[in-house]
Amino acid sequence: MRFSPCPCLFFSSAGRGLPTVAAPRVKSTGKGVGAAASIGAARAKRNSRHDSKTSVQNHIGIFPFAYWIFSYKHLEKQIPIAIFADMAEELLIETLRFRQLRQELNMTQQAFAKALRIKGSIADIERGKTRLSGAVVARLLQVYSINPLWLYGESEQRHLEVTVPLMPKVVTLDVESNENIAMVNVKASAGYAHNLQDPEWYDTLPAFRLPLPEYRNASFRAFQVQGDSMLPVLQQGEWVIAKAEESLAGLSENSVYVVVLADTVVVKKAQLTTSGLRLISLNSLYPPIDLQPADVREMWRVTAKITSNLGHPASSLDELTREMREGFVSLKSLLGKG
């Protein structure tokens, strides 16, 4: 039997990949064993001429690491797979599933770290050098609905339904205790997000009711449109009547929403993504806004609009572009005459 280059554990193909301990070399001291020693020397000399590949296959030293790589390449992948499986099993299950989740989302380590608000790289987490913190586990639940019990191998249920309460905290009533439609104009919208739970502030807003069946048994609110991000459907100064949404689960990509954030109110289309919520303008000049579901305070689905622009329909984006080009041409000609 040939031994490893160093007195350490080695893997023998005869032992089916199980580690064994190399036996110490024995030096002959008696005259009666001289013949045996000569035979052993002759066998050793013959074995030294044996194919080095076969020798490496039979006895693989487990260190140094470079020798592992050399052996693996020259063994034509004949090393028992269990050797490498044991290496993977050393990682905690939450580490393995954390890396699995990122790969299934097709995200880079940098993008995944940004989505989870992790400072720096997550390479140490995936290598098992850094444990998952409670904040990261909470973000996985909040952003991707990942069940913490599944993450730690204690449950087969991977996702939990997490609902962010979006219903209005305050409503206004008329003298008959019927819910009014409060009107939030452009000026009031600046302070709307900061007064969501202030009944006295709502009393300062004008309100009305619509005697139509579709506006009963639900909470509605009117918001004034500001800006041109939703052209050509909505123009500056128009009003939209919107119905309160209970959660983000029922969002439709074909609807327009009034989205109340921590410091502003916007009118956009909304789309759920793997990394959170995306708000989209109809005017292509405005880029989409990506945020997390937890950033949303209230969500209202637009059901109607109130406009005074009956004789002047909203211009299409093509018409607006054409008007801008004509304006630039006129300006250029005027500057040329000067």
d(CA 273, CA 289): 12
Whether 97 is covered by a domain: the verdict is yes
Question: For residue 68, which phi and psi values (nearest 5 degrees)?
Answer: -60, -50
Domain match, 191 and 240 both: yes
Domain match, 65 and 20 both: yes
Please give the pLDDT value at position 331: 52
Q: What is the mean pLDDT of the chain?
A: 76
**Which DSSP string corresponds to 90-152?**
TS-HHHHHHHHHHHHTT--HHHHHHHTT-SS-SHHHHTTSSPPPHHHHHHHHHHH-B-HHHHT
**Contact between residue 280 and residue 291 where contact means Cβ atoms under 8 Å apart:** no
Q: What is the mean predicted confidence (pLDDT) over 256-271? A: 95
Q: How many domains does the chain have?
A: 3
pTM of the model: 0.54
Whether 241 is covered by a domain: the verdict is yes
Host domain of residue 253: 181-306
- Which residue type occupies 192? Y
**Contact between residue 248 and residue 277 where contact means Cβ atoms under 8 Å apart:** yes
Domain match, 66 and 109 both: no
Q: What is the mean predicted confidence (pLDDT) over 35-53? A: 49
Q: What is the mean predicted confidence (pLDDT) over 50-70? A: 43
Please give the pLDDT value at position 322: 62
CATH number, domain of 227, equals: 2.10.109.10
Domain match, 275 and 233 both: yes
Whether 270 is covered by a domain: the verdict is yes
Domain match, 209 and 256 both: yes
Whether 131 is covered by a domain: the verdict is yes
Domain match, 42 and 135 both: no
The residue with greater pLDDT, 116 or 311, is 116
